[in-house]
Structure 1
Amino acid sequence: MDGVLPFGELQALRGGPLYQKLRRLIEDAVSNGRLKHGDALPAERDIADAAAISRVTVRKAIDELVEQGILVRRRGSGTFVAKPVPKMQQPLTRLTSFTEDMRRRGMVAGSRWIERGLKFPTAEETMMLGLSGGARVSRILRLRTADDMPIALERTSLPDDILPEPETVEDSLYLALAARDIRPVRANQRISAVLLRDDESELLEVPPGSAALSVQRIAYLNTGRVMEVSTALYRSDAYDLVAELTIGA
């Protein structure tokens, strides 16, 4: 690692406090390709020893690089060079699935399952889905990825007669429903800005307390029945939601 990150030369560098010198040293190694996506940094104590600086100084430099999205911390694993995040735009005029959105961009959509099964509904789910007594709800919680990069954390609830076996869903929920001849025809969406909890930040591989776009969706069948309620938390550094507006006569 000495050839990639010459920590021993840090003290001789000019300009600014030590933590800024260390930050620039790591930044330059990433921008010049000496450190690549997925490469692990040495432990903070090892950097401190090699550079003859305090661990507090090392932590401050790494904290700034994590905030900039250059590095990512993974609990129990260490600090790694983050994958560059492509900025994606999602139009708000079409009802599409995440899988379809990614396919249009030439990317491979994936899911990492966190929860999937038939559950007893909450009071909110009973009301929003119009469930009768004794009905259960298919509840899905998954991390959506594009080319293996975490993009969104998606929570979805459906009546059990619409999705009786949530374990059969693979990557695309709408594709699994289409196989049963069930398709949404319209949806209402509500978009807001939120701050991620620590567990959500960890799953999405962004710094703790990062901002996200919360997209709440209620989808309907052609009969007017509510088919699905969902909330998706999109990484704000990766996703822009775009609406085309026209001026009335």
Structure 2
Amino acid sequence: MNKCDDISMSHLSLSYKLNFVHDKSSLSPVKLFYDSIVIIATLFVTIVASISLIIIIKAHAMELSLIRFIKNNLNAELSKPLYIQLKDSIEIAINNKMLVHGSVLLSERKLAQELAVSRVTIVKALAELQIEGTVVKQHGKGTVIQLPVQYDLAGGGFSSQLKSKGKVTNRWIIRTPVCADDFLARKLGVIVGDVISHIKRVRLIDNVPVSIETTYIPQCFMPRPDLLDGSLYEYWETMGIVPKQQDYSLSIYVPTADEALLLDIPKGSPLMKVELSSKDQNGVVLEYGTAICRSDFYRFNFKTTL
């Protein structure tokens, strides 16, 4: 074997060793881990993009359905002015849940184009709806459907009053027994250290978060808070517990960052805080709590006898 052959064999041996090392490193746990992360991240991005596309397609389909519905309700040959027909059609769409609180209408120009009517007709119809309080103009958004919840402070529980407004659901945050501190003991008429039930939930109407309720109840009136799955007052009704007196206190409230997130509103949005205490016919306290309510969704009604 000559010198060239020796060099060639040396290169071959070195090449084999390098390839062997490379092959071993390519199978290392670290590389496999990072490859897995890349695959998972790619799948996640693909799923998010697919969901976003589905949401966009669904929103566009709902928009087309609304335009078609309104257009079918407009008839230029009727004696009723077109802008009144348009106003009535939007109100019917609201009653049919095609438009809900917070829905943003198309721009005046786009509505006129899609409905094949003059812009004057659109402006007059929206002006009528604005006078009635059905829509509001919001800078940067346009014309927004405004359907505040009419809540009668003398009318009983949340669920019973709002069933007619849409589907009422709860997002449960806390349902657990706790020990009463000095403040809660005074509010509930119990002894410091007594076990009470703590309930916290987000109230939703048609899947829109509208308030955060925090309630404390003496254990004798709510032994198992973890089993509560709906209306507190309906549960009490089955137990023969009847609230006879309710004391309210209302104030303006600025939510924390976590509360704003739960209600899906911008930080710093002004809210209404309701403090509530309920008693039975004997004056025994049944509950004490607070409700943080979206001011763009609630309208509180009072009634007094003079």
The AA in structure 1 aligned to 2:164 is R
Q: Which has the higher contact order (CA 8 A, sep 6+)?
A: 1
Higher helix share: 2
* CA pair 143-243 structure 1, distance change in 2 beyond 3 A: same
Match of 2:160 among 100, 121, 141: 100
Cα offsets for 1:121-151 (capped at 9, x unmatched)? 1211111111135520100000001111101
The AA in structure 2 aligned to 1:32 is L
Question: Does residue 140 of structure 1 match 2:214?
Answer: no
1:120 Cα deviation (Å)? 1.1
In 1: Cα distance, 2:304 partner to 2:247 partner: 17
In 1: Cα distance, 2:264 partner to 2:290 partner: 19
**Structure 2 alignment gaps of length 5 or more:** 1-52, 58-103, 108-137
Normalised by the length of structure 1, the TM-score is 0.64
In 2: Cα distance, 1:32 partner to 1:208 partner: 26
Question: Does residue 223 of structure 1 match 2:282?
Answer: yes
In 1: Cα distance, 2:139 partner to 2:212 partner: 21
Over aligned residues, Cα RMSD in angstroms?
2.5
In 2: Cα distance, 1:134 partner to 1:231 partner: 21
Alignment of 1:68-217 (within 5 A): 70=141, 86-94=147-155, 96-105=156-165, 107-132=166-191, 134-217=193-276
In 2: Cα distance, 1:158 partner to 1:225 partner: 11
The AA in structure 2 aligned to 1:214 is K
The AA in structure 1 aligned to 2:148 is K
Greater shift after overlay, 124-133 or 136-145?
124-133
* CA pair 227-201 structure 1, distance change in 2 beyond 3 A: same
The AA in structure 2 aligned to 1:98 is F
**Structure 1 alignment gaps of length 5 or more:** 5-29, 34-66, 72-82
Does the 8 Å contact 2:149/2:162 carry over to 1? Answer: no
In 2: Cα distance, 1:245 partner to 1:132 partner: 35
The AA in structure 2 aligned to 1:219 is S
Cα offsets for 1:45-78 (capped at 9, x unmatched)? xxxxxxxxxxxxxxxxxxxxxx96959xxxxxxx
Cα offsets for 1:82-105 (capped at 9, x unmatched)? x955212212332x1111111133
* CA pair 111-69 structure 1, distance change in 2 beyond 3 A: farther
In 1: Cα distance, 2:140 partner to 2:209 partner: 13
In 1: Cα distance, 2:260 partner to 2:212 partner: 10
The AA in structure 2 aligned to 1:184 is P
Does the 8 Å contact 2:179/2:192 carry over to 1? Answer: no
* CA pair 85-144 structure 1, distance change in 2 beyond 3 A: farther
**Residue 214 of structure 2 aligns to a residue in which SS?**
strand
1:31 Cα deviation (Å)? 3.6
Larger radius of gyration: 2
Counting aligned pairs with the same residue, the percent is 27
* CA pair 149-70 structure 1, distance change in 2 beyond 3 A: farther
Question: Does residue 232 of structure 1 match 2:291?
Answer: yes
Normalised by the length of structure 2, the TM-score is 0.53
